[in-house]
Amino acid sequence: MSFLVAWLPFLGSCVVAVAAFAGVIKSNNTNRAAITAADAREFVRWQRESLTDLTNTITETAQQVVAMSGGCGTWPRGERTQRQVHNDHAKLAILALRLELLVGDALSELMSLMQGATWKCLQTAGEIHSELMNGGRAEDLQPVIEGECDRATETIRAFITAVRTHTETIGRSATRPARPYGSVNNAAPG
């Protein structure tokens, strides 16, 4: 019996150490789950904010191209204004790539339609401007450019609506991030 009394404090310390170690492991797994969930929420917030900012830039640029094209009858002689509108339209291609990096293919079809409609508007504006500079009548040509501008504006509105819908789904359809290696608890963080 005296042998057991001598080892009792050591055995008791071992039991306490094992229990403490198990508590640390469980706490670590819980903290990992909480950090992973927080990272996922932060990513969703960043993605929504980035999409909103990028959409604002895209629609402002597209609307500027449409507005400048619609005013083609007042463009001064020369190509400076046309070149500026072409440069603004070229920005849409760069913005489309950024959009694809951010959301994948989800909005690429509408972005392409918007680029095409604004290009058609710009192209028509250039043709009308040339005709006006060669003596064409503005009354005959104004309905043509107004129609192209209206079509481009409709595609911009459709794009904005699609972005709103997509933004609402960003947090819902995202898959949960993978659990860290060595994670014991496979339950979803709560």
pLDDT digits (tens, 9 = 90+) for 32-46: 777 788 888 888 899
Q: What is the per-residue pLDDT for 1?
A: 61
How many whole angstroms separate alpha carbon 92 and alpha carbon 76?
24
How many whole angstroms separate alpha carbon 152 and alpha carbon 136?
24
Domain assignment present for residue 8? The answer is no
How many whole angstroms separate alpha carbon 99 and alpha carbon 61?
14
Q: What is the per-residue pLDDT for 173?
A: 53
- Residues whose CB falls within 8 Å of the CB of residue 179, separated by 6 or more in sequence, listed in order: 32, 33, 36, 186
Domain assignment present for residue 180? The answer is no
CATH number of 115's domain: 1.20.120.230
How many whole angstroms separate alpha carbon 24 and alpha carbon 170?
35
Residue 184 has pLDDT above 50, yes or no: no
Domain assignment present for residue 3? The answer is no
Structure confidence by residue, pLDDT tens digits, 153-176: 999 999 999 999 999 888 775 444
Kindly state the DSSP code that residue 186 receives in the 8-state scheme. Answer: -
Can you give the residue range of the structural domain that contains 62?
50-173
Number of domains in the chain: 1
Which of these, 67, 93, 59, lies nearest to 163 by C-alpha position?
59
Q: Where is pLDDT greater, at 105 or 176?
A: 105
Domain assignment present for residue 114? The answer is yes
Query: What is the reported pTM?
Result: 0.71
Q: Where is pLDDT greater, at 11 or 101?
A: 101
Domain assignment present for residue 187? The answer is no
Query: In the chain, what percentage of residues exceed pLDDT 90?
Result: 40
For the residues 6-29, what does the mean pLDDT come to? 79
Structure confidence by residue, pLDDT tens digits, 106-159: 899 999 999 999 999 999 988 888 888 888 777 778 888 899 999 999 999 999
Residue 24 has pLDDT above 90, yes or no: no
What integer best gives the mean pLDDT of the chain? Answer: 83
Domain assignment present for residue 87? The answer is yes
- Residues whose CB falls within 8 Å of the CB of residue 98, separated by 6 or more in sequence, listed in order: 54
DSSP string, 86-103: HHHHHHHHHHHHHHHHHH
Domain assignment present for residue 165? The answer is yes
